[in-house]
């Protein structure tokens, strides 16, 4: 009995993992463009990457060439936190910059962490 239960658990686990939204799918979220703009403004991306980011803001992600998409995707990967280290939620784009600086926490958990440290 036991091994098959583990197997079913693994299948379910993979199923849910597979369902998780990928970063590229999150590009269509409303706040994403604001986040890209923010990255340029604070100087976290520059040079060629910033050029591609500006092009994306101007003409949209789909207008980028395959090569540009590759550079853009990599750049976003380096400047994002997949999920909150504490509660595991997807970090909203409007909180992403904070999460980069605070070690990967959503605003709520960051707030809780500070509260605990103060007490």
Contact residues for Zn ion (CB under 5 A)?
84, 86-87, 106, 109
**Quick one: 60 or 103, whose CB is closer to Zn ion?**
103
**3-state SS of 19-50?**
HCCCCHHHHHCCCHHHHHHHHHHCCCCCHHHH
Closest CA to 53 of 67, 68, 31: 68
Rounded to a whole number of angstroms, the minimum distance from the CB of residue 105 to Zn ion is 6
Beta carbon nearer to Zn ion, 69 or 86: 86
Q: Smaller CB distance to Zn ion: residue 42 or 87? A: 87
We find the least distance from the C-beta atom of residue 31 to Zn ion, in angstroms, to be: 17
Measured in degrees and rounded to the nearest 5, phi and psi for residue 106 equal -70, 165
């Amino acid at each position: 009995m036991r091994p098959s239960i583990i197997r079913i658990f693994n299948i379910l686990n993979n199923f849910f993992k597979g369902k998780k939204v990928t970063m590229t799918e999150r590009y269509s979220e409303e706040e994403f463009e604001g986040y890209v703009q923010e990255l340029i403004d604070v100087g976290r991306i520059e040079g060629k990457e910033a050029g591609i980011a500006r092009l994306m803001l101007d003409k949209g992600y789909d207008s980028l060439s395959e090569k540009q998409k590759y550079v853009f995707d990599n750049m976003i990967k380096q400047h994002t936190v997949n999920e909150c280290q504490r509660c595991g939620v997807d970090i909203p784009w409007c909180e992403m910059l904070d999460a980069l600086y605070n070690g990967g926490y959503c605003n709520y958990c960051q707030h809780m962490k500070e509260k605990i440290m103060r007490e």
